């Protein structure tokens, strides 16, 4: 398949609101609270809304649609996904042309729009590569040519899948969740490669689904599960260094991810107006250069990982 240049980066703002937690991921969020959260994010110039059929069994898309009903469409960058949804609580995948078209049509209806700015192949399986390469992507490319979608990406938290498909598909961007954080820089070679190719990255999961925001507390979550002992120990070392420099762990976590030049957009989840404000505020925290130097010299992060100000 011929690789083509990505679309202009101006379509990717610095921040995006992820909507995956609006339907009981951590707690139940009312419709009114979810809509208020979306409106507040838009008012703070967080113009990209990221959702998916998988989130809340189609309900997150519907909530975004309700929130957008009172906003001008051209003021919002709308991102959703295809090929993964929920049936009776179980994951259902569909990569064939008719399944992709059905998924996109449903998203348009729930969101109340006629066009999507971004459409990502959601959590693609390498085992389904022939079908994805020969049927899924060509179907999306056809929709892009028709103007139904503006750009095509891939969203996954599986590094092997991200590497495989990013090297084989002419994607406009790659959305990567949880594989480039203060606790895990396994995606660094891929990020470097994408940067050299000019393919922008949207990074989700900057707090590793919890522990880099809460610290190593009882019940801390790491990739949606209880944090294992090794992760807790490493987080405590990070916390100790943050305390030495009088900075919040979550600020260090957020600004570290933002420092990689391949990463154009930080996607943060939020369940409330307060969480949106907190997630934006961490990027304004002043962090001394010595902190980043010590992160490298103590071996807490990959020695080749870029840091702010470097």
Q: What is d(CA 11, CA 294) in angstroms, rounded to the nearest whole number?
A: 35
b or e along 156-180 (b: 16 or more beta carbons within 10 Å of the residue's beta carbon)? Answer: bbbbebbbbbbeebebbbbbbbbbb
Q: For residue 131, is it within any domain? A: yes
Structure-token pair, residue 50: 């990221």
Q: For residue 302, is it within any domain? A: no
Q: For residue 304, is it within any domain? A: no
Residues 6+ positions from 157 with CB-CB distance below 8 Å: 123, 176, 177, 178, 179, 204, 205, 223
Task: Give, as one character, the DSSP assignment of residue 267.
Answer: E
- Note whether 33 and 272 are within 8 A (CB): yes
> Residue 2's pLDDT is what?
46
Total domains present in the chain: 1
Owning domain of residue 148: 11-297
Q: For residue 27, is it within any domain? A: yes
Residues of the chain whose pLDDT is less than 70?
1-10, 23-27, 310
Q: For residue 154, is it within any domain? A: yes
Q: For residue 309, is it within any domain? A: no
Backbone angles phi, psi at 296, to 5 degrees: -70, -50
Collapse the DSSP code of 79 into the 3-class scheme (helix H, G, I; strand E, B; otherwise coil) and give the result: strand
Q: Which of 32, 173, 156, 54 is nearest to 110 (CA)?
A: 54
> Residue 134's pLDDT is what?
98
> Residue 27's pLDDT is what?
65
Q: Which of 2, 1, 13 is nearest to 200 (CA)?
A: 13
Domain CATH number, residue 100 = 3.20.20.100
Structure-token pair, residue 182: 């203060």
> Residue 268's pLDDT is what?
95
> Residue 23's pLDDT is what?
66
pTM over 0.85? The answer is: yes
CA 77, chain centre distance (Å) = 14
């Amino acid at each position: 398949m011929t690789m083509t240049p990505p679309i202009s980066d101006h379509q990717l703002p610095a921040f995006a609101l992820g909507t995956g937690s609006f339907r009981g991921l951590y707690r139940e969020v009312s419709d009114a609270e979810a809509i208020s959260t979306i409106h507040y994010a838009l008012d703070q110039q967080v113009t990209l809304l990221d959702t998916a059929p998988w989130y809340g069994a189609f309900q997150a898309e519907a909530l975004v649609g309700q929130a957008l009903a009172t906003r001008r469409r051209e003021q919002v960058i709308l991102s959703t996904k295809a090929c993964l949804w929920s049936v009776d609580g179980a994951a259902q995948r569909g990569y064939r042309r008719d399944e992709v078209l059905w998924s996109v049509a449903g998203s348009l209806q729930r969101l109340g729009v006629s066009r999507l700015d971004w459409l990502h192949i959601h959590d693609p399986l390498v085992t389904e590569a022939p079908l994805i390469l020969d049927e899924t992507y060509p179907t999306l490319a056809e929709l892009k040519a028709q103007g139904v979608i503006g750009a095509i990406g891939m969203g996954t938290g599986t590094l092997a899948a991200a590497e495989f498909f990013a090297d084989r598909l002419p994607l406009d961007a790659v959305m990567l969740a949880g594989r480039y954080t203060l606790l895990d820089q396994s995606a660094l070679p891929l990020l470097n490669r994408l940067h050299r190719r000019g393919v922008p990255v949207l990074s989700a999961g900057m707090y590793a689904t919890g522990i880099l925001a809460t610290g190593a507390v009882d019940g801390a979550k790491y990739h949606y599960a209880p944090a294992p002992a090794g992760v807790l120990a490493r987080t405590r070392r990070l916390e100790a260094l943050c305390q030495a420099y009088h900075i919040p762990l979550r600020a260090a976590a957020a600004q570290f991810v933002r420092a990689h030049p391949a990463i154009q957009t930080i996607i943060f989840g939020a369940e409330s107006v307060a969480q949106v404000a907190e997630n934006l505020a961490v990027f304004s925290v002043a962090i001394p250069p010595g902190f980043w130097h010590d992160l490298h010299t103590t071996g807490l992060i990959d020695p080749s990982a870029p840091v702010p100000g470097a």
